[in-house]
Amino acid sequence: MGIHIKNLKVRPKKAGVTVMCAPQLTTMLGCWAASGDLHSVGACQEAAQDLFRCMRTTPLPKKVHAPTINYHLARLRKRVQ
Amino acid sequence: MLRSLSTSLRSSCRPVALRTASLPARSLSSQSTQSSRAEETTEESYNLLANSQQNTGDDIAQLLNLDVLTAPKESNAPPVMNIPPQEDPLLHYLASRIMQSGHRARANRIVARTLLNIHAYTRAPPLPILRQAIFKAAPAVRCLNHRIATKQVLKPIPLSEKQSIGRAITWILEEVEGYPGSKQVRQGGSQLEERLAREIIKIIKGESAVLATKEKVHREAMLNRGSVGKA
């Protein structure tokens, strides 16, 4: 009856990297583009300090568990096919 | 004599909640206030605890001109004693990076001699110069090679304090010693401490290749600033 797959598994999609302090980061990068102050000593010093303060104070993002789809597929293999 | 006094104080004390200074744990950007153990007992800011009910330590503390820290009588919270770190966290980290095969004393000696060399060149306190150089060389972001479908996308990610300082020290040590497989000629001295001191001075002056590397990383992040929001 149809296709028989011995080991049913998929390549689960990896969750994207969560960027911490994204608004402060975009502000600083935009400031670099506008002023050319890549070392953050002149015009972009304020924006850089904001980013550093944010990185110091925000709690780390919680670790996301890897997808368990393959476990469930292996478990339900005989029922699905 | 001082040692026996401190043990008697400790025996008369209630259990204390120890907190290593008012700084966050192992913060590399904050300095340690204590430079050597010999100066500990004479520091006026080094507060010792006395039991407020027994008052056995008060007269001894007053004899030594130490501030007596007593817990407020209303609260049940244990009194807090601020203990500064034993050595500067940045120097400790630098020594850890230089250390090989567990030879901590050798690494500490190299760091100490580097500071001495900086002082010999500048005739100024060397530690602020070292800190300034490392912070100047530290990048704020890194670019992650992120694959979306078949396309390789560079995604800028902000670095924490320790990460950025770690990268700066990696670059400085690579510049000074070379990376495995490189055949660069050692310029600036046969000793690591001498080369390190020269590199620190070059960073302060703005002539170092480390600063060019940092600028390259920052430029790459700036050019890819559009991919911050993408998954």
A55 assigned to some structural domain: yes
A31 assigned to some structural domain: yes
- The residue in chain B having the minimum alpha-carbon distance to the alpha carbon of residue A19 is B157
pLDDT score recorded for residue B149: 77
Distance from CA of B88 to the nearest CA of A (A): 19
Q: Domain ranges for chain B, please list them.
A: 89-181+189-227
pLDDT score recorded for residue B124: 96
Q: What is the 3-state secondary structure (H, E, C) of B199-213?
A: HHHHHHHCCCHHHHH
Q: Which helix (H) or strand (E) is B31 found in, with range?
A: none
pLDDT at B36 over 50: no
User: A55 and B158: CB-CB below 8 Å?
Assistant: yes
* Number of domains chain A contains: 1
Task: Measure CB to CB from residue B158 to each of A16, A20, A32 and give the nearest one.
Answer: A20
Task: Measure CB to CB from residue B225 to each of A21, A24, A29 and give the nearest one.
Answer: A29
C-alpha distances in angstroms, A53 versus A58, A59, A66, B207? 9, 12, 31, 29
pLDDT score recorded for residue B127: 97
Is the whole model's pTM more than 0.80, yes or no? no
Local confidence band at B103 (pLDDT 50, 70, 90 cut-offs): very high
Q: What torsion do the CA atoms of B52, B55, B57, B58 make, to the nearest 10 degrees?
A: 90
C-alpha distances in angstroms, A1 versus A4, A76, A81, B224? 8, 17, 9, 51
Average pLDDT on B180-209 reads 88
Phi and psi torsions of B24, nearest 5° = -65, 155
Q: Please identify among residues 140-179 of chain B the ones whose CB lies closer than 8 Å to any CB of chain A.
A: 140-141, 144, 146, 155-161
List average pLDDT for each run of 10 residues in chain A, which is 81 residues long.
Answer: 77 80 95 94 94 94 87 84 67
ipTM confidence score:
0.79
**CATH architecture for the domain at B89-181+189-227:** Orthogonal Bundle (1.10)
pLDDT at B10 over 60: no
Written as six digits, the tokens of A36 are 């050319």
A68 assigned to some structural domain: yes
Sign of CA dihedral A30, A36, A40, A41: negative
State pLDDT tens for residues B147-185. 877 888 899 999 999 999 999 999 999 999 877 777 676
Distance from CA of A32 to the nearest CA of B (A): 7
Q: Which of B89, B78, B59, B96 is nearest to B19 (CA)?
A: B78
A2 assigned to some structural domain: no
A71 assigned to some structural domain: yes
Q: From the candidates A14, A24, A29, which should be mutated to test the interface with B, based on the most B CB atoms within 10 A?
A: A29
Q: Which residues of A35-71 are buried (b: 16+ CB within 10 A; e: fewer)?
A: eebbbbeeebeebbebbbebbeeeeeeeeeeeeeeee
Q: Domain residues for A27?
A: 22-80
Q: Which of A38, A76, A25, A59 is nearest to B24 (CA)?
A: A59
Least confident piece of the model among A73-77, B30-34, B189-193: B30-34
pLDDT score recorded for residue B128: 97
pLDDT score recorded for residue B187: 77
C-alpha distances in angstroms, B27 versus A14, A18, A21, B184? 33, 24, 19, 34
